[in-house]
Structure 1
Amino acid sequence: MPFTRIALRAGKPAAYRQALTQGIQRALIAEFNVPEDDIFMAITEHDESNFFYGRNFLDIQRSDDLVMIQLAVTNSRSEEQKKALYRRIVDNLAESPGVRREDVFINLVEVLKENWSFGNGIAQYAL
């Protein structure tokens, strides 16, 4: 059960934000074998005074269209699966809504299965 946070500059239309969630979800389905209805995402929009990033960190030229994606997932995927997920997300978002590849920043947080709760106060595993 991935949990995804997406942060971006304020002002993008609803269709753009929806394309972000759809592109990320398609990548999760394809590369992590996540069930189609296993979607938990939150988008936060930030004005210029609340959105900071290194424009040239690691010699990558970023713009104000930067999309920061943080995924919390169980720690059950291989390095190859993670790399495939990153590539698929970047490819999907480049296709729609048209995010430059340099403007996709992904942070993967791995969580032990026993640290998930699904709404009833006790950990349950959706295996």
Structure 2
Amino acid sequence: MPLVQVSLRRGKSAEYHQALFEGVYRAMRETFDVPEDDRFMTITEHDAATFCVSPTYHGVQRSDEAVIIRITANNTRGLAQKRALYLRIAELLRADPGVRPEDVFINLVEVLPENWSLGHGLAQYAARQD
């Protein structure tokens, strides 16, 4: 049950946004055991004054076209799956909509299963303890 939040500079088309959604979702399906129809994603656009990305941190040459992808997910995947996910996202976003791999910044936030409510005010992933 990943929750994906994408941040980028303002000015991209609806098609660009859709390609971001499709690429990240496809990568999660292929590498992260995400079931079909498990799609919860948002995009937030920012003006230059509200979007700051280091152009050189850790030796990576980023541009103003950087895309920040935050994925909140259950803490059930190993390092190999995480690495595969990061690489696949960068590959797919390079192909469409044309994001340079250097401009793909991914932050994975892992949470316990009981930290989700998928509707009805229930903790669907929590083990029953009552």
TM bracket, shorter-chain basis: over 0.9
Q: Residue 5 of structure 1: SS of its match in structure 2?
A: strand
Q: For structure 2, which runs of at least 5 residues remain unmatched after alignment?
A: none
TM-score normalised per structure 2: 0.94
Greater CA drift, 63-72 or 116-125: 116-125
| Corresponding residue of 1:105 | 105
The separation in 2 between residues aligned to 1:14 and 1:36, in whole angstroms, is: 23
Structure with the greater alpha carbon radius of gyration: 2
2: distance between equivalents of 1:86 and 1:117?
Answer: 26
Matches within 5 A, 1:1-127: 1-125=1-125
> Runs of at least 4 residues of structure 1 off by over 3 A?
none
> What's the offset of the Cα at 1:36?
2.0
Stretches of structure 1 that go unaligned for 5 or more consecutive residues are: none
Q: How many residues are aligned here? A: 126
The amino acid that maps onto 1:19 is: A
Distance 1:48 1:36 in 2: 35
TM-score, length of structure 1 as denominator length: 0.97
Question: Percent identity between the aligned chains?
Answer: 55
